[in-house]
Structure 1
């Protein structure tokens, strides 16, 4: 094995490089080169480095795979590493390594365990025993770490790591300036505002992410607002397992409502978008096809009109169009009148049913577990694919109902701020367009019906009778 003519490769790997300084792999390479020098191997053909990658995790190790390919291509005679557990801890991977090295008389030499001759049964037995021991140690260490983390989680302690936004570095003390943003952001989502509007508000306030110190994006903002930590809860692998030791920033019902809204896979485009410029854009409906109306420029004078987005696809029928300022003014007058009625509170702000958020969450978890069990039954041949699909359809319907219940329990009715005001009209005029649109969407369905062309009696072109107004469903 001490043949100086042998072509030697060095393989180094470290599972975790917390500093990014490559100190671990550099130490391994240095000790491997010392062994090569003592042994008389002068030809180091290449050093293969996998930094911050575990041999046990199953993640691809690019340098290792490249080295295996080079061994198979007869470019290497000896592989030198710090210990066999640097090469592999998976029995399957070890057997692949043996199948490549044995027919080519490639041996392995380690700094800590000495030479391992894979060309002999005894050498292969040693390699397998060392691999089994390494796997046991890794699994046992993983068990200890997992048990420790689970104990910390069950007791509600902070598990350490990067500072969470909204809290100090200890993970337990609230940072008031950031917590106020989480509160206002959660309120905004429950109020029907867009997530993008929250992102813009946080960036305008000069807030940055806790870890990277960057401006907020849709993803990072959503991640923060949907954390169980916000409600004083601790979760493990996405499942809430109990109360945390740190204080809550928002209550549990509010948090679960935010989660239900932001994680709803069928979440529609927010018609109350901050980009809207007109009261009824994407809210008013076409009386011909039921499609939404948007505002565009009409005629040489450059006036603005609501038009059906689907007018281009009309089959024989003419879709609707209305003067935008006149239609908005008419709808605003109807809204103000209805919101000023003595029974407006009973009509537009009914009491919400009391909902147990934890009970709903537990039911959702049960559905998830039952779905997993059905998948296992399908794999064992106990049920058919048709039976699985039928059951999943039922589960999906029940999940939607439960998520809707959570959302309704936490979402604030946008009319709460205007109903009961001494002067509804003055209050309405003080609202921004976003709030007006949210109220309109909650209170009314406005449908624009076809109307005769030309002027009406009195010289106007706008016909109020062609506007159908109905109460929005509760």
Structure 2
């Protein structure tokens, strides 16, 4: 309760508290130096150090929990120590609210605070508490000034097209500028694979199988791979405060049209994995129903005795999604379609499949519009900042430039479509190359190459002696 007095703890029993906001050297070397200085101070004062508390790489300004600091407060409340040793008061607190809590714990228990750099804080007197608060205000001021300087330095770097710092970005060295060739290759190959129809998860799984890891040495997952590939820096674009901020000084891993096309693919809601849209079969949602024109879906049901299958066997089939017009054996239909794909890709004229079916987008014009609209917006922002126009004038003037920029970005998002058969055409063993593809890539090839329309099959044995009615499956090359 407020105002309640407690028995004072033994002042000769001490604890040490150490903290580093950012461990740039790694290994807690800054923590070790603080501890050594505090142990030397304890020896000078004739104190017995019972325990050392340390929070490494944690800021006292951010307000995030500091586990060892909170444990120290609990132990102080329990009367475990009569003295707290720290390198400086700013190692203990940088926020007034934390200082007040510390005073509430120490003052009634007559706990002393001694520091290597700021001397003795006597929190049992009004003068001592005033000094502690003044030191706290000074510490907060220094942090806020440091943040202002860092923010201004980052803004200046952005204006010069330089990297503003942070953890090593995948694809580049610690300086954020020098490329790592092997990682740049991963960025390009992953981008091309996804544009060709591969899923992010399958690409991540392939990278892990190849022994390739993230910049921190972690395994790839669909989430962290997608996040890495979405970075504007991959296209040589600076990002500041979550916004694109102009061209960078480092070379791009992929060109801007390719990157924007990739982002459009990754952000497509239909690609978001949910229980209802994850495709597990080759033709689900792609094969068409002949009678009604709808799509077929995969379906499973127990085997019937007249089919001659063992009891409990599950029969997989494709079935018309809309009206149930058509039902065909799933495995047989997939095998039939895949044989056509392999035969087509094995023909001498397979290279013709790499030709574009549509005129390419004029990316040069779109990129020019993007550069000019960005330059116009920058000029208008400077005019607003200089007081040469008011806010209403700025809104009107920037409307056209923003519309031009958005149109150019939309054009670039659809500029690049990687042909999904690339990598199959010219393969020595097309069947083996096809078999090595993941399901998402196979579906992309199927959808790109042909339209498969399925009609009701004729019952009974067919003219070729089998029970598979090949004439009920119509394949039209695109």
| TM-score greater than 0.5 by the shorter chain | yes
Per-residue deviation, 1:62: 0.7
Per-residue deviation, 1:131: 0.5
Paired position in structure 1 for 2:37: 31
Q: Secondary structure at the match of 2:359?
A: coil
Paired position in structure 1 for 2:81: 76
Change (3 A) 1:256 1:456: same
CA distance in 2, matches of 1:430, 1:31: 66
CA distance in 2, matches of 1:348, 1:427: 24
Change (3 A) 1:265 1:109: farther
CA distance in 1, matches of 2:328, 2:251: 54
Paired position in structure 2 for 1:438: 444
Per-residue deviation, 1:266: 4.5
Alignment of 1:47-66 (within 5 A): 47-66=52-71
Paired position in structure 1 for 2:142: 137
Paired position in structure 2 for 1:280: 283
Match of 1:320 among 319, 323, 327: 327
CA distance in 2, matches of 1:402, 1:465: 47
Paired position in structure 1 for 2:90: 85
Paired position in structure 2 for 1:383: none
CA distance in 1, matches of 2:330, 2:75: 74
Paired positions, count: 415
Structure 2 unaligned residues grouped into runs of 5+: 1-7, 374-406
Paired position in structure 1 for 2:317: 307
Deviations 1:178-212 (A, max 9, x none): 43343232222111123345446556766555553
Alignment of 1:178-217 (within 5 A): 178-199=183-204, 202=207, 209-210=214-215, 212=217, 216-217=220-221
Q: Secondary structure at the match of 2:415?
A: helix
Paired position in structure 1 for 2:99: 94
Is 1:248 paired with 2:252?
Answer: yes
Contact 2:289 2:454 in 1 (8 A): yes
Contact 1:11 1:79 in 2 (8 A): yes
CA distance in 1, matches of 2:211, 2:35: 46
Query: Is the deviation greater in 104-113 or in 405-414?
Result: 405-414
Contact 1:156 1:244 in 2 (8 A): yes
Change (3 A) 1:57 1:5: closer
Q: Secondary structure at the match of 2:187?
A: helix
Q: Secondary structure at the match of 2:108?
A: helix
Change (3 A) 1:333 1:145: closer
CA distance in 2, matches of 1:320, 1:437: 20
Change (3 A) 1:442 1:326: closer
Per-residue deviation, 1:61: 0.7
Per-residue deviation, 1:74: 3.1
CA distance in 2, matches of 1:362, 1:284: 45
Per-residue deviation, 1:308: 3.7
Paired position in structure 1 for 2:391: none
Change (3 A) 1:25 1:432: closer
Paired position in structure 2 for 1:108: 113
Is 1:410 paired with 2:416?
Answer: yes
CA distance in 1, matches of 2:240, 2:154: 9
Q: Secondary structure at the match of 2:35?
A: helix
Paired position in structure 1 for 2:25: 19
Paired position in structure 2 for 1:392: none
Change (3 A) 1:107 1:291: farther
Paired position in structure 1 for 2:132: 127
Paired position in structure 1 for 2:235: 231
CA distance in 2, matches of 1:310, 1:74: 75
Per-residue deviation, 1:88: 0.6
Per-residue deviation, 1:248: 1.9
Per-residue deviation, 1:54: 1.7
Q: Secondary structure at the match of 2:414?
A: helix
Change (3 A) 1:323 1:24: closer
Query: Is the deviation greater in 186-195 or in 201-210?
Result: 201-210
Deviations 1:260-285 (A, max 9, x none): 33354552469xxxx98x86366436
Deviations 1:226-273 (A, max 9, x none): 332221222234422111112222110101222333354552469xxx
Q: Secondary structure at the match of 1:103?
A: coil
CA distance in 2, matches of 1:403, 1:459: 58
Deviations 1:159-187 (A, max 9, x none): 45666544456543444454334323222
Change (3 A) 1:23 1:247: closer
Deviations 1:18-77 (A, max 9, x none): 3334332233233333333333434x3422222222211222111110111122233333
Q: Secondary structure at the match of 1:9?
A: strand
Contact 1:352 1:409 in 2 (8 A): yes
CA distance in 2, matches of 1:320, 1:10: 75
